[in-house]
Structure 1
Amino acid sequence: MSTGKFTSAVDLSGPDRVQLFIRKVKESQELWGLYVDGWAEEADGDGKKGLVVWPDEQHARLCAKDKWGQHSPKSIKLSSFKDRWVDKLVRMRLKVAVFPTPFDGPVFIEPTTLRSELS
């Protein structure tokens, strides 16, 4: 991703970042999280936790600081996410926290909704 596209992506609104996330993940067939002894999570305004994900390593790495400073980007195959992760997230009552930036928090989506969007 060029620097200009990278800069403009972090400046997008939450809903626009979700659409970019969906498009990029469908193209690459992978999504990215941050991992160290467990995956990075974020809580929504009601305190409900979500697995934090990005469309690529570059955006995940950008957020690997402060509370996630010890975390490293790690890829998740889209097929694995849809076939195994979604059901596990539902059982754990976790949402998916999609594409936070250093300037804006993630958009929280139900795992089954995201799976449908990524199909």
Structure 2
Amino acid sequence: MSSGKFSAAVDLSGPDRLQMFIRKVKENQELWGLYVDGWAEEADADGKKGLVVWPDEAHARLCATDKWGQHSPKSIKLSSFKDRWVDKLVRMRLKVAVFPTPFDGPVFVEATVLRSELG
């Protein structure tokens, strides 16, 4: 990704980042989280937790600071996410916290809805 596209992505609105996330994950067949002794999570305004994910390693690495400073980017195969992760997230009552940036929080999506959007 060129630095211009990278910079522009972090300035997108939440809904636009969600659409970019879906497009890139479908294209690359992987998504990225931050991991250290467990996956990074974020809570929505109601306190409901979500697994935090990004469309690529570079954007995940950009957020590996502060509360996630000890975390490292780790990829998740799209097929694994759809076939195994979604059901586990539903059982754990976790949403998916999609594509936060240093300037804006994630877009919270129900795991089953995201699986459907990812085809």
Shorter-chain TM range is over 0.9
Structure 1 CA distance for aligned equivalents of residues 71 and 2 of structure 2: 24
The equivalent residue for 1:77 is: 77
Structure 2 CA distance for aligned equivalents of residues 9 and 46 of structure 1: 26
1:71-117 CA distance string (max 9 Å, x none): 00000000000000000000000000000000000000000000000
Corresponding residue SS for 1:115: helix
Show the 5 A alignment for 1:97-116.
Answer: 97-116=97-116
Superposed displacement of residue 63, structure 1: 0.0
C-alpha RMSD of matched pairs (Å): 0.1
The equivalent residue for 1:25 is: 25
Count matched residues.
119
Identity of aligned residues (%): 89
Q: Is 1:44 matched with 2:29?
A: no
Structure 2 CA distance for aligned equivalents of residues 2 and 57 of structure 1: 14
Corresponding residue SS for 1:100: coil
After TM superposition, where is structure 1 displaced by more than 3 Å over at least 4 residues in a row? none
The equivalent residue for 1:54 is: 54
TM-score (norm 1): 1.00
Structure 2 CA distance for aligned equivalents of residues 15 and 35 of structure 1: 25
TM-score (norm 2): 1.00
Give the letter aligned to residue 28 of structure 1: N
- Structure 2 residue runs of 5 or longer lacking an equivalent are none
Give the letter aligned to residue 67 of structure 2: K
- Structure 1 residue runs of 5 or longer lacking an equivalent are none
The equivalent residue for 1:9 is: 9
1:3-33 CA distance string (max 9 Å, x none): 0000000000000000000000000000000
Corresponding residue SS for 1:47: coil
